[in-house]
Structure 1
């Protein structure tokens, strides 16, 4: 798994976008006390459930791989000229 350029910033954007997506869909309400790890796992599983991202094999699911998958998802949501994609 090759690390993306600006991966940590893409993950932050993915968390914000995923939280908004989940709350607008009415399936979750995130709290200020929720950790980033919890948010990443919930958003990853929600996007897999909704078939917006490809699931990882069960034996390869880790915090690092979920972060990477969310960063890839976010990079595909952004416009081509976005600063995080350069």
Structure 2
């Protein structure tokens, strides 16, 4: 898995956008006490179910790979020249 520049900030952005996406789909928002681990898995599974992203192989479905997949997804969603995409 290749290290991505600004990965932590991109993941934070992916979680934010993912929560908004889930809310528009009719899901209730996460509680303040919900861990990022749970948010990552829920948003990942929602995006896979909606066929927005391609699922990981079943033996690769773990926290780090789900995080990486969400980061790759948000990179494609951000406009060209966004500060998180600039080296």
Task: Give 5+ residue unaligned stretches, structure 2.
Answer: none
Higher share of residues assigned helix:
1
Q: Relative CO higher for 1 or 2, CA cutoff 8 Å, sep ≥ 6?
A: 1
Alignment of 1:17-36 (within 5 A): 17-36=17-36
Q: 1:47 maps to which residue?
A: 47
Deviation at 1:13, TM superposition (A): 0.1
Deviation at 1:28, TM superposition (A): 3.3
Output the CA distance in 2 between the equivalents of 1:47 and 1:32: 22
Output the CA distance in 2 between the equivalents of 1:29 and 1:15: 12
Question: TM-score with structure 2 length normalisation?
Answer: 0.95
Task: Give 5+ residue unaligned stretches, structure 1.
Answer: none
Q: 1:14 maps to which residue?
A: 14
Q: 2:4 maps to which residue?
A: 4
Deviation at 1:4, TM superposition (A): 1.0
Deviation at 1:30, TM superposition (A): 1.1
Aligned residues between the structures: 86
4+ residue segments displaced more than 3 Å: none
Q: Alignment partner of 2:84: what SS?
A: helix
CA RMSD of aligned residues (A): 0.8
